[in-house]
Amino acid sequence: MKNIFPFLVFLLALAACTPFEENDIALPAQPSPPTFSIEYLNGDSNKVIVTNLSTGFFDHTFDFSGGLPAQSKHAVDTVFFSKAGDYIITLFASGEGGGGVSKSSKIITINKDASAQCDPMVSLLTGDCEAPGKCWTFSHAAEAVRVGPVPGSKEWYKSPINGLQDAQYDDRFCFYFPGAKFEYNNNGFSVDPWNQYSVVPYTPPSNLTWLLLKGSGDGGKDQIVLPVGLFIGTWDSGPVYDIASLTDTEMVLRSPIRKKDGTPAGGWFEFTLVKN
């Protein structure tokens, strides 16, 4: 018998070069557009309730451009719009078994800007709703800054007595009732959490406003709402803060930690501020 070894090597090499072909896998068809409803919250025309009416989807996400929150995965949620105008609400839904994502959109009209009413909470925040306003600064006490995985926790960090930087202790966060005006006075410098907590020159924007949302925070807490990109306490917090407690001389705020692009980073801050 002739030596067939070279021929076998040739066949094995040929097999190795032959591409593997898998039978086509049939994916489900693109799902039909999802359906949802919108209604104004009774007694507050700056808030709307959205309800996902669709069934048979694997997952869904509401997108509220210009609203608070900006997105939601709840089947029913309440969205707040602070300014008058037309807003697009979009529902994205994923089909079962990899069938792709479908979407549907609706336009909601908000007829007026939201405004603050002078109540006991607003009075404490702004100084009796009077024109001089009221400013808040970091407490020098221990645990003026607490950081943890959930609201009110401190497993990750708690500041010692006088443990913050001078550029933080000289910050003033001021609230005025007339015009719902907010000022961040930082004496020209702020601490940059995305640059090893170094002190950097920073000029805050002007002509800012604040809002107070009743019962919309964690556990039904009232919330302070600032314009996007603004903050109280540290730069990587906000712009929405749960009011954990508020007296004439002390305010405790909680906020999710955020990345530089504004998206959640995981975890929560708690700040203790005192009247300046």
* Span 84-103, pLDDT tens digits: 899 999 999 887 665 678 88
79 vs 249, higher pLDDT? 249
252: in domain = yes
55: in domain = yes
Residue 84 and residue 141 share a domain: no
- Residue at a domain's end among 68, 92, 110: 110
11: in domain = no
Number of domains in the chain: 2
* 169-197: average pLDDT: 95
Q: What is the pLDDT of residues 28-72, one digit of tens each?
A: 667 788 999 999 988 788 889 999 998 878 888 999 988 878 888
Q: What is the CATH number of the domain that holds 132?
A: 2.40.128
When the pLDDT of each residue in the chain is averaged and rounded to a whole number, the result is: 88
Supply the pLDDT for residue 7: 44
Q: What is the CATH number of the domain that holds 98?
A: 2.60.40.10
Confidence of residue 125 (pLDDT cuts 50, 70, 90): very high
Q: What is the pLDDT of residues 204-225, one digit of tens each?
A: 998 899 999 888 889 999 999 9
Supply the pLDDT for residue 1: 46
Residue 225 and residue 150 share a domain: yes
243 vs 114, higher pLDDT? 243
227: in domain = yes
List of E strands, 81-234: 85-95, 101-110, 134-138, 145-148, 157-158, 172-176, 181-185, 189-192, 198-201, 208-209, 211-213, 223-225
Other residues' Cβ atoms within 10 Å of the Cβ of residue 111: 9
Supply the pLDDT for residue 99: 63
171: in domain = yes
Scan for tokens 């709703």, then name that residue: 129
Residue 73 and residue 160 share a domain: no
Residue 257 and residue 211 share a domain: yes
Supply the pLDDT for residue 12: 46
247: its two tokens: 């007296």
Residue 219 and residue 170 share a domain: yes
229: in domain = yes
Q: What is the pLDDT of residues 135-145, one digit of tens each?
A: 999 999 999 99
27: in domain = no
171 vs 12, higher pLDDT? 171
The Cα–Cα gap between 37 and 58 comes to 19
Task: Indicate whether 177 pLDDT > 60.
Answer: yes
Supply the pLDDT for residue 122: 95
Scan for tokens 């405790």, then name that residue: 252
Residue 191 and residue 85 share a domain: no
The Cα–Cα gap between 83 and 86 comes to 9
SS3 27: coil
Note down the domain range covering 58: 36-110
115: in domain = no
Supply the pLDDT for residue 248: 97
Residue 210 and residue 96 share a domain: no
Residue 105 and residue 66 share a domain: yes
